[in-house]
Structure 1
């Protein structure tokens, strides 16, 4: 028996591990949720180890699944890149751009619309990502990542320094004259950022005041900003994202610098297509326009 499991089992694992959903993986691969579940079970039986922990409404990877996933990602990426190098990209295939939903809605949306008006023949496919591990495995043409810009095998262009500042609905901002006024108000937390509420509050001279505040925690800024815009509390967000909003204001002037920022990224291992280079150059040029 070959030590390599069937390809359809590996595809099921990669898609389910990336989406953490058998249903989403099935939708992506054009099969049912039950088919994905069966393939994963067969794969686990072949390997002799569980790859997922099944919760009532979610999935998580086991340590074995987490350790194996990078190898599977890299294998599929190399197959895709090798196919493109030998046979070329499909002429009508779109330029794939992957970034977080909040960047799509704010920074990217007006630039992409402008690009489309100038180059309507260039098809662009947007792919959403939230966690750092969401980036890279599918071999996107371009990405907008958040971090320190220290990734290997990629070309990076910084979108500018980042600062974090509170944001809330105008009606709530009227009641916030000083940082001390945050006591008793809901703080909206978006996890995964180097600068969070404790850091900002310490810089504002009110360290520990979060213990007097109710909290709601989300895994992305789209939700924290949506809650804030509806008067649900005060979010901490990147200054560039606040600048594009009309339903949110900054109640305080303090903006805390972050060592992390947004970066435009493309892989170095393959020659970029002309259409991808065109979009890359357009986005880089837009930085000079603010």
Structure 2
């Protein structure tokens, strides 16, 4: 046969073979006994062999049915396993949250863990995105984005004003007293931000020093901070993402403001999943607590 029988027929066979009752199978699948009987009959016609012996008040499997049942059970088990791996064990109570790796690591992780401890029955699926075109209303209940807001069809709450400041490993910081000391050190750049090293060096009064500094450019801020923590150079970081780190220090008390911000975002729609609304409210309270 070139095509598998319809899934509804296979479900009917699996349930009836397991319970040895069309009535019990119908009850399990939410249909009538007659519907199960019809699906089994259509399946037998498609296969060209009987799967059940019908007795007055019971069923037994034919040799063909007995031989086929293990493959069907294994197939449904594999489908169930794959579904749990991709969508979680409780897909009807899952919430998808999408944001950048650096936000996940340095702002969201502790807050998400607290939410999980308070609501362990809600499965949160965390999805990473880096570039702006990886965000969007499809596939996520909530997002944390970076930019100027104004996204069509989206409700947005600012996490607060932002500024960028240089950070590095403590051993590197010991050789830095003034911004001019950056000469010869590697500057770690994160692509995609409106404000970067050029703006900070200009404000520090050492604009030309960038020509004396080797550069490493990464596609996300999480990597620049990881390199900086290992003594690989000096990175720029958003102040709110630096506050909870103990592996980096700020060699200069000078930051550059940026009009781009992090935003808590969700689609504007009248009907929302209760679990997603609960996580949204939780994160909004965390934002309010940060501003106190």
TM over 0.5: yes
Alignment of 1:1-290 (within 5 A): 92-136=92-136, 138-269=138-269, 271-290=271-290
Task: Note the alpha carbon deviations across 1:76-123, whole angstroms, 9 max, x for none.
Answer: xxxxxxxxxxxxxx8625100000001000100010011111111111
Runs ≥4 in structure 1, deviation > 4 angstroms? none
User: Equivalent residue of 1:95, what SS?
Assistant: strand
TM-score, normalised to structure 2's length?
A: 0.67
In the TM superposition, what is the alpha-carbon distance from 1:146 to its structure 2 partner? Answer: 0.3
* Contact 1:200/1:256 (<8 A) preserved: yes
Q: Supply the distance in 2 between the matched residues of 1:91 and 1:227 (Cα, whole angstroms).
A: 37
In the TM superposition, what is the alpha-carbon distance from 1:139 to its structure 2 partner? Answer: 3.0
* Contact 1:100/1:130 (<8 A) preserved: yes
User: Equivalent residue of 1:250, what SS?
Assistant: coil
5+ residue gaps, structure 1, are 1-89
User: Equivalent residue of 1:171, what SS?
Assistant: helix
Q: Supply the distance in 1 between the matched residues of 2:160 and 2:272 (Cα, whole angstroms).
A: 24
Task: Note the alpha carbon deviations across 1:40-77, whole angstroms, 9 max, x for none.
Answer: xxxxxxxxxxxxxxxxxxxxxxxxxxxxxxxxxxxxxx
* Contact 2:93/2:275 (<8 A) preserved: no
Q: Supply the distance in 2 between the matched residues of 1:123 and 1:208 (Cα, whole angstroms).
A: 51
Q: Supply the distance in 2 between the matched residues of 1:201 and 1:280 (Cα, whole angstroms).
A: 38
Q: Supply the distance in 2 between the matched residues of 1:266 and 1:242 (Cα, whole angstroms).
A: 26
Q: Supply the distance in 1 between the matched residues of 2:270 and 2:108 (Cα, whole angstroms).
A: 24
Worse-superposed segment, 189-198 or 137-146 = 137-146
Paired residues, what number?
201
* Contact 1:162/1:260 (<8 A) preserved: yes
Q: Supply the distance in 1 between the matched residues of 2:196 and 2:243 (Cα, whole angstroms).
A: 19
* Contact 1:198/1:208 (<8 A) preserved: no
TM-score, normalised to structure 1's length?
A: 0.68
Q: Supply the distance in 1 between the matched residues of 2:142 and 2:148 (Cα, whole angstroms).
A: 17
* Contact 1:176/1:182 (<8 A) preserved: yes
In the TM superposition, what is the alpha-carbon distance from 1:207 to its structure 2 partner? Answer: 0.8
Task: Note the alpha carbon deviations across 1:131-167, whole angstroms, 9 max, x for none.
Answer: 0000016331000000011111100000011100001
